[in-house]
Chain A
Amino acid sequence: MSEALVTMTGITKQFGGVVACRDVDFTIRAGEVHALLGENGAGKSTLMNVLSGVVTDHDGEITVAGTPVRFHRPADAQAAGIATIHQELDLVPGLSVAENLVLGREPRTRLRLLDRRAMLRTAREQLRQLGVDLDPRRPVGALRVGEQQLVEIARALSLDARVLVMDEPTAALADAEVRRLFATIEELRRRGVGIVYISHRMEEIEAIADRATVLRNGGVAGTVDPRTAGPGEIISLMVGRSVETLFGSANAKTGAPLLEVDDLTVRPRHRRPGRCEPAGATLTVRAGEIVGLAGLMGAGRTELLETLFGAGAKGRRSGSVRLDGVAYAPAAPRQALRRGVGFVPEDRRGSALVLGHATGRSIVLTALHRLTTAGIVRRRRERAAVAGKIAELAIKTPSANVPVGALSGGNQQKVVFARQLLAGPRLLLLDEPTRGVDIGAKAEIYRLLHRLADDGMGILLASSELPEPLGVCDRIVVLRAGRTVADLPAATTDAAGILAAAMGQHSRPTRESA
């Protein structure tokens, strides 16, 4: 076995009365990918914050290359060769790739001016070593998320990082970018860099991790070899019990057509790059039915949902959309809400929540008009409504006054659901509703969807994780370049069938996946 780059022993950290980490041992060896798993709140972030010098008042010991160290600030950890690639990347979007790579250590000419040539040379060299083909003169803001991530990795390596912590690196990546990232990780491994890989995606762990350590309630639940352990064992380590029915059972009773979309096409007034507006979308959602919306990245799932919620691109539209048999063309989210349509957007923090605002206030925002008399919010009715939803969805929060940002990802998502449900929708549009949500909360959300469908709600669920629509939905509509290319019953379809439809029969997979 190769040498241990970093050894953490007996790490314990409490926040107030809450134990975030309890006597955790964790090692990172040279050239290994060590997956760190656990539900939100299991202690992953705290452990990594200890490792990166953000949390300093902990018990236990850290040794780097055999020498005991004590980090007092993040810079100490960096100096010891530990770098963290955050979900929100720390790059300056207006500067070029090269300028970002040398930020703070810019090469100077004899006149103390910026030495552009040396800067570009260094940047090219760093990217080449990593096997990344990127023009260092391009502004970072114009790069795709995956490319930005590679720049961030290159920068970490240029600071002599021996240990890289990657926090859900694939959360925002398209498939092609994920492959590219994995190739880069392979290269890092060859060079003896130790990688801590945090992810909720089981198939990725199986694909690239050498070891997987599972945390539960702040302690180590076990360390396994993910290639032999299988997802079942890992999941039961995470939740402390076996999860047989993650997705719940499909339901049979469906009612009258609720939403009928026929050949919907939007020609936007302003074409925006990277967006794929509906171009011949056709689908039906019946009352009590959960319909999946599948397709490759950029196939137009989000754009279709936004259009159906009145939040899409403005422009000329053709085709017909009917809700309850009545023409439906919302020009703004307010109109959609009034017609009984709810929407859970993909980007929870950017499009749904104000993290600093109280949980209760976040829950009532959409249904506020129903808790109001003459413009005045009725506090008692508000409190009752909030308490009802917190109980119904089992939102874990000390009180309704706690800021949403202090809740775990899964509970934040439940707050978004609670807000929609309080408005009493008949049709719910969901865009990646379980992204960044731990597996326990995932199961709860799936149960909720089935219960809502049983109560006669229609649900349209867009997802990029194929097992999700396959497990949860009754039917799956596949989009390709904004057009409906297949409408498949979930019971008789598998991932291969969906992918074949999503990529087109005359498979030219690379074009759409870009």
Chain B
Amino acid sequence: MTIDEQTPAAGTVGLKASAACWLRRPRSRRELIDRLFAVQSLFALAVVFAVAIAASPTRNGENLFLSTGNLGNIVRAVSEIGIIAVGMTFVVLLGGIDLSVGAILGLSAVGTATLMVDSGLGILPSVLAVLAIGAAFGALQGYATARLGIQSFIVTLAGLQVARGLARIWSGGLGIPIAYGDGPKEAPPAFEILNGSFNGVVPVPAVLFLAIGVAAIVVLRTTAFARHVYAIGGNEKAARLSGVPVTRVKVAVFAIAGLLAAVAGVVHAGQLNQGSPNDGAGYELDAIAAVVIGGTALSGGSGSMGGTLAGALLLGILNNILALNNIDANVQLLIKGLVIVAAAALQKLHRTVA
């Protein structure tokens, strides 16, 4: 492929429409399509939302899907995967993949329960220790891929086993229930806040997810660090020759992914009132699905955090509406698989057209 000639069409590749461009009327159908695709994951989210409303069962004339309780359930259910997916987005933008996040979630849930219940630590020290472990675990993986030059797929595949093993050893292989109270072997009742909601409407984990997501969007848009992530993902050699501190950035990105997986682990322990070493199995794949539906290229260097947030919500709504309609769990899996392929195909189609 040569891009030597003046091919205006090539100008649309991976371009985000600027604000000024949005205020103008689209000059052609081609441009209109481009604009829709610029926010395609939001667009897809809106479509799925609309379909969900239409497909929702009703009780006494009330749309069950739209009920406050149900919407709360959706964002609560989405929040753990969503938080993990935020970290995964950084890794995928870098051109890597992190398979260990589900296992780190399990390790962190176990850690949270053990430290609070068995070791009798307070909330803050327990949580901080767990987050530190998650971040350190991620950083170590980042260092291994950067310095040893092993693909992150392999490093984190190994990390998955290690984290799962650590979780089993730490917990003795059993789930550790969290009882609340002031006595020994009881966790501080304040930790139960993760099970609660603001005003009884907005679940606390969802707010946490939203806050982390917004912070990540800001980081990706404004920081030099983010530019470095995109540069490495686009062309690592070029990034290195341009003076990007490649090792440092990789370590930081995997540390972020580990840290956010640990956050999700704490949330998980709080929501289930226990920490089990098998928690979070397969979550890494759901997180990757959210990233892919959000339009981030697995090859690295292009994509957005907003897309991932929309992708995570889309998967949550899908799960919810299928469950509301009592669709068989196995059939649910099937439908989810088709949606992921459809999302990827849509992006491919757009790139080919452009």
Contact = CB atoms under 8 A, between A and B. Distances in A.
B6 A408 contact: yes
A377 interface: yes
A45 B238 contact: no
Task: Among B225, B234, B242, B302, find the residue whose CB has the most chain A CB atoms closer than 10 A.
Answer: B242
A334 B241 contact: no
Nearest to B245: A334
Contact of B244 (A44, A345, A365, A423): A365
A464 to B, nearest CB: 20
B19 to A, nearest CB: 12
Contact of A375 (B225, B238, B242): B225
B243 A423 contact: yes
Interface in A338-386: 343, 345, 350-358, 361, 364-366, 368-369, 372, 375-377
A46 interface: yes
- Choose among B7, B10, B18 the residue with the greatest number of A CB atoms under 10 Å from its CB: B7
Given A41-B5, A405-B3, A361 B227 contact: yes
A40 interface: yes
B243 A333 contact: yes
B302 A356 contact: yes
Interface string B224-252: 11011011001101111111110000000
A152 interface: no
Contact of A44 (B5, B237, B238): B5
B8 interface: yes
B245 to A, nearest CB: 6
B1 interface: yes
Contacts of A403: 10-11, 13-15
Contacts of A409: 4
Given A87-B2, A345-B241, A366-B242, A406 B223 contact: no
Contacts of A309: 241
B222 interface: yes
Chain A, interface size category, equals: 35 or more
Contacts of A408: 4-6
A15 B301 CA distance: 27
Interface in B1-51: 1-11, 13-15, 18
Interface string A38-81: 00110111100100000000000000000000000000000000
A351 B237 contact: yes
Contact of B7 (A17, A354, A406, A423): A406
A401 interface: yes
Interface in A72-120: 86-88
B13 A405 contact: yes
B224 A46 contact: no
A209 interface: no
A345 B238 CA distance: 9
A309 B237 CA distance: 13
A15 B224 contact: no
Given A353-B238, A354-B231, A377-B222, A18 B245 contact: no
Contact of A333 (B8, B15, B230, B242): B242
B302 A352 contact: no
Contacts of B9: 15-16
Given A87-B2, A353-B235, A398 B242 contact: no
Nearest to B10: A406
Contact of B10 (A44, A167, A353, A405): A405
A419 interface: yes
Contact of B8 (A15, A88, A355, A405): A15
A246 interface: no
Interface in A388-411: 398, 401-403, 405-409
Contacts of B240: 311, 332-333
Contact of B234 (A332, A351, A357, A375): A357
A290 interface: no
Contacts of B237: 350-351
A77 to B, nearest CB: 16
Contacts of B10: 403, 405-406
Contacts of B230: 354, 357, 361
A17 B11 CA distance: 14
Contact of B11 (A41, A46, A368, A406): A406
A343 B241 CA distance: 8
Contacts of B244: 365
A19 to B, nearest CB: 9
Nearest to A17: B8
A132 B277 CA distance: 63
Contacts of A41: 4-6
B243 to A, nearest CB: 4
A369 B241 CA distance: 15
Interface in B280-301: 301
Given A365-B243, A403-B15, 13 more contacts: A18-B8, A41-B6, A332-B240, A350-B237, A351-B241, A355-B3, A368-B227, A369-B224, A372-B223, A376-B224, A401-B15, A402-B15, A405-B13
- 6 closest A-B pairs by CB: A354-B234, A45-B5, A406-B10, A337-B243, A16-B8, A354-B235
7 contacts: A311-B240, A333-B242, A334-B243, A356-B302, A365-B239, A372-B223, A402-B11
